[in-house]
Amino acid sequence: MRDVCVIGLGLIGGSLLRAAARTGRTSWGAAVSEVDADAASRAGYDVTTDIEAALHRAAERDALVVLAVPLTAIEDTLRQVAQHAAHCLLTDVVSVKAPVLDAVRRRTPYTRYVGGHPMAGTAESGWLAGNATLFDGAAWVVGVEEDTDLDAWAEVAQLVLDLGAHVVPLHAESHDEAVARISHLPHLFAAILATIGAQGGPLAMSLAAGSYTDGTRVAGSSPALVKAMTEGNREALLPIVDEALGRLGAARGSLASTGGLAVTINAGYEGAQALAASREVERAGVRISLTAPDARDGLVALGERGGRITGIEDGVALGEVS
């Protein structure tokens, strides 16, 4: 197993370092935050605030480097990677993929890079919020582009599987459009709901119950992280916001004219049922040879159909699809 070097030790990076160590891999990390680094060190993990030293060690050990920093820090971090660990296998856990892919191609063009994004997390942040089981059962996008080295892809995918997640292979653009719908728009809606509720004053807050707390949970996330991921995914998020505004406008029009909201409410109920059904659907097994000429196309097609990779054996990706 290749060693793992994690740069950034917040909720996701910290959980990844814990989970990687749990698998038996030699793992170390680095964080700009002295608070996170100190907490991780006191918990017994091999951690430093010297990112350059961590990357030098990665280069010496030919480690897999994982960037777990905010999107706003990617450019500066990649400059350090290019200087100190340019030939290491590189992945990341940033919630937007196209901007990271572009930055990697500009800053570290000779690095073997495979983008990643675990669909796991909480509204908390920092090292103390993480845990080694955060990724158990989670979907984890592992990027596939036309120039992706499939040997590198298989290594990153194997790490993901070892950490307890399943792999969803996707193009960066497909990932960004999907998360705009199911992650970034919900963050914006949560912020708006929390704002409107709070403007109701003490009375509204005293009456707030499940529907309000469920709808506003992620509004408690770090504002800087939410700002980075939503603004960073502007190109994909804008048309989704327009779609949402169109539906809100239609709901308002119906309420003002006929007083009826059945269309909006029924469509939402059907959407919720679709999510529940997707988690119980029967799946058929799929085998994709990673040495086949059309392997990249096969992986992406699997991911875009809602499929997943659950294992890799002898150069074959073992998947499931409905």
Residue pLDDT, tens place only, 43-63:
999 999 999 999 999 999 999
CA atoms within 13 A of residue 168's CA, in its CB half-sphere: 20
What is the model's pLDDT at position 279? 84
For range 10-23, the mean pLDDT: 96
Distance CA 42, CA 22 (A): 17
**Residues 244-289 pLDDT 10s:** 999 999 999 999 999 999 999 999 999 999 999 888 888 999 999 9
Position 123 pLDDT exceeds 80 = no
Query: pTM above 0.85?
Result: yes
What is the model's pLDDT at position 315? 95
What is the model's pLDDT at position 282? 86
The confidence band for 205, taking pLDDT boundaries of 50, 70 and 90, is very high
What are the φ/ψ torsions at residue 65 (nearest 5 degrees)? Answer: -95, 130
Position 23 pLDDT exceeds 80 = yes
Q: In the chain, at which residue ranges do the beta strands (DSSP E only) sit?
A: 4-7, 27-30, 47-48, 64-67, 89-92, 113-114, 116-118, 139-143, 166-170, 284-289, 308-313, 316-321
Position 113 pLDDT exceeds 80 = yes
The confidence band for 124, taking pLDDT boundaries of 50, 70 and 90, is confident
CA-wise closest residue to 123 among 214, 20, 211? 214
The confidence band for 228, taking pLDDT boundaries of 50, 70 and 90, is very high
For range 196-216, the mean pLDDT: 96
What average pLDDT does the chain have?
Answer: 96
What is the model's pLDDT at position 132? 95
What is the model's pLDDT at position 99? 96
For range 188-201, the mean pLDDT: 97
- Tell me 182's DSSP state: I
**Residues 76-99 pLDDT 10s:** 999 999 999 999 999 999 999 999
CA atoms within 13 A of residue 1's CA, in its CB half-sphere: 18
